Amino acid sequence: MRHVRGNLATVVVTVLVLALLGVVAGYVWSVLAPGTRYVLIEGTRQPLDPETQSLIEADGWFAVVTGAFGLASGIAGYVLSRRHPPVEVLVGLAAGGLLAGYVALMVGTSAKGTVQAAGPGGFTTTTSLGVTAYGVLFAWPLLSTAVFWVVEFAVSYRQREA
């Protein structure tokens, strides 16, 4: 029973640490990604410039920021897992990466935005960020688990050759 508690504690601690890093990633994303200008007409948001690329840029910056955090957490997870079984750390990286990506999205979307009065078309606002391609939420867990396994393979391959 003690063994199970230790393994569960490893997973929970990994998930919680990554969730806290998700807060930092959300703020970094909100600083780097451009805001999108909208017009609020009768309670609905319409992009001020229908041909704007800022929505795509926000998705790209989200993928870059969470991907960088995923790479760093995968390497750190491998280095710190020498005392713990790697399966529990890997499960923690996957689950924690999903949670951290969601936390980063929530923090980033609430960190930026102001409403300003405009002309007869309604109110103009620079809104909070958002993602339109929800697949970028998988950047963190995908890269953290992938780099974990690449490093594990490289180290074990070198040990087998020696």
- Per DSSP, the three-state class of 5 is helix
Q: Does 137 have pLDDT greater than 80?
A: yes
Return d(Cα 92, Cα 12) in angstroms, integer. Answer: 7
- Dump strand ranges (E) for the chain: 37-41, 44-47, 114-116, 123-126
Q: Specify the DSSP element, H or E, that contains 55.
A: helix 54-80
Cβ atoms 92, 13 nearer than 8 A: yes
- Per DSSP, the three-state class of 39 is strand
pLDDT in tens, 3-51: 677 788 889 999 999 999 999 999 999 999 887 777 777 767 777 777 7
Q: Does 154 have pLDDT greater than 70?
A: yes
Predicted confidence at residue 124, as pLDDT, reads 62
Return d(Cα 133, Cα 58) in angstroms, integer. Answer: 10
Identify the residue with better confidence: 82 or 26: 26
Q: Which of 33-37, 40-44, 60-64, 86-90 has the lowest mean pLDDT?
A: 40-44
Prediction pTM value: 0.84
Share of the chain above pLDDT 70, in %: 85
Cβ atoms 143, 150 nearer than 8 A: no
